[in-house]
Amino acid sequence: MKVIEIHTPSQDSVITCGAGCFKRLAPRFLAGHRNFVLTDSNVHALYGQDIKAVFGDAPVYILPAGEESKNEVSLFRILQAMIDAGLHRNSFLFAVGGGVVGDIGGLAAALYMRGIHCVQVPTTLLAQVDSSVGGKTAVDMGKVKNVVGAFYQPEAVLVDGTFLKTLPAREIRCGLGEIVKYGALNAKILDSLTENADRLFDLAYLAEITPECIEHKAEVVRLDERERGLRKSLNMGHTTAHAFELFYGGLSHGEFVLIGMYYELKIALAEGATTAEYAALLEGLILRVLGEVPRYEGVERAAEYARLDKKNAASDEVSMIVPADYGTYAELRLPFEKYRGYLVSLAEK
Ligand code: NAD
Ligand code: ZN
């Protein structure tokens, strides 16, 4: 078992990684409290008996699986169920699921009585390496992703790799999208990914690399919990990824992160922000996980979504975090027209 801690002014968050840690550690939080379990329909179908074995009679709220559930209507339904369950200030909410369950569950825990204990039990690779750690919680509203949310650190995160045995390969690829991003930010992770390029999809390898990624994110969150500076680095690839995710859809978030990184890497090279050798190394890794980069039509309109990105400082420029060299990155701010020109020439050829 590996333990990683994040101490912030509001909360000490203890992240434990290891096979079997869910069944071993979750019962420790139960004694003497009323508790509440949030999960989704897929996870409940697979792990309902384990949830029952660990949480006994605690109420279990089952969200329909999928991003469409991550909205304000579901949030208020969950809060109503928490009221009905008679939760009090010392109660625990356990979010057992992927990033959707973690994000909405974390926000419900933050809001109920202005904050009750939250334990994250991430069951997807993406949630284990990224979304369960660092305290960002949110729901989508209308077409705007993560627009209503709060920073709220979980008291504990139980990262149990045994959940990944039932995860479809496509969801593993999704998590690998964020893992490749960590590689572009952290030389040690990049070395590991290139040395193990043949076993990136092996659960044994993922159990090794997951704590490394969490440690990277934990250090960033310790230094910049509220994303005033350093934490923005974790948005690498995400400007274009979010634009394409909103405009085209049809792929997972992590797949779009790989696509976003691919295009932004080419832009970085053209702008002289990185070297050809380093760009080739990262491109090889991206393609190994993603397979082919899809060609897109109508990219001028997709680019408009990047113009609206909340990370931009001004309306006529697009900001991107791009790889520079081993373990370093740069922020590129391009006039919108120039960014759009790059995307059109790269994505439509
Ligand atoms: P998800 O929660 O929708 O899970 C993906 C699919 O896997 C779902 O169908 C789910 O039911 C299923 N699933 C979950 N666990 C499973 C298991 N063990 N076996 C089989 N199937 C399982 O999606 P996700 O990729 O985990 O998370 C995406 C969400 O995370 C997005 O809403 C994104 O905005 C958010 N996110 C948040 C942060 C953050 O810092 N808070 C960071 C990255 C992403
Ligand atoms: Zn992401």
Expressed in angstroms and rounded, the spacing between residue 307 Cα and the centre of ligand 1 is 26
Residue with tokens 């697979």: 46
- The answer to whether 174 and 184 have CB atoms below 8 angstroms apart is no
Per mean pLDDT, which range of 60-64, 178-182, 228-232, 277-281 is the poorest?
228-232
Average pLDDT of the residues in 157-181:
98
Determine the pLDDT at residue 32.
Answer: 77
pLDDT by residue (tens digit) across 102-135?
999 999 999 999 999 999 999 999 999 999 999 9
Q: In 131-186, which residue ranges form alpha helices assigned H by DSSP?
A: 169-185
DSSP label of 230: G
DSSP label of 127: I
Backbone angles phi, psi at 154, to 5 degrees: -70, 150
Report the alpha-carbon distance of residue 330 to residue 320 in Å, rounded: 8
Expressed in angstroms and rounded, the spacing between residue 66 Cα and the centre of ligand 1 is 8
User: Which atom of ligand 1 lies at the shortest distance from residue 163's CA?
Assistant: 18
CA-only gyration radius of the chain, Å:
20
- The answer to whether 97 and 157 have CB atoms below 8 angstroms apart is no
Nearest residue by C-alpha to atom 12 in ligand 1: 42
| Residue 215 designated active-site | no
Q: Is the beta carbon of 238 within 6 A of some atom in ligand 1?
A: no
Q: Is the beta carbon of 172 within 6 A of some atom in ligand 1?
A: no
Residue with tokens 């993406």: 126
Q: Is the pLDDT of residue 10 over 90?
A: no
Report the alpha-carbon distance of residue 74 to residue 275 in Å, rounded: 46
Expressed in angstroms and rounded, the spacing between residue 202 Cα and the centre of ligand 1 is 19
Percentage of the residues of the chain whose pLDDT score is greater than 70: 99
| Residue 242 designated active-site | yes
| Residue 217 designated active-site | yes
For the entire predicted model, the pTM comes to 0.96
pLDDT by residue (tens digit) across 188-228?
999 999 999 999 999 999 999 999 999 999 999 999 999 99
Q: Is the beta carbon of 97 within 6 A of some atom in ligand 1?
A: yes
Nearest residue to 238 via CA among 186, 168, 309: 309
| Residue 235 designated active-site | yes
To test the pocket of ligand 1, the residue of 104, 121, 126 to mutate (highest count of ligand atoms within 8 Å of its CB) is: 126
Percentage of the residues of the chain whose pLDDT score is greater than 90: 89
Expressed in angstroms and rounded, the spacing between residue 273 Cα and the centre of ligand 2 is 22
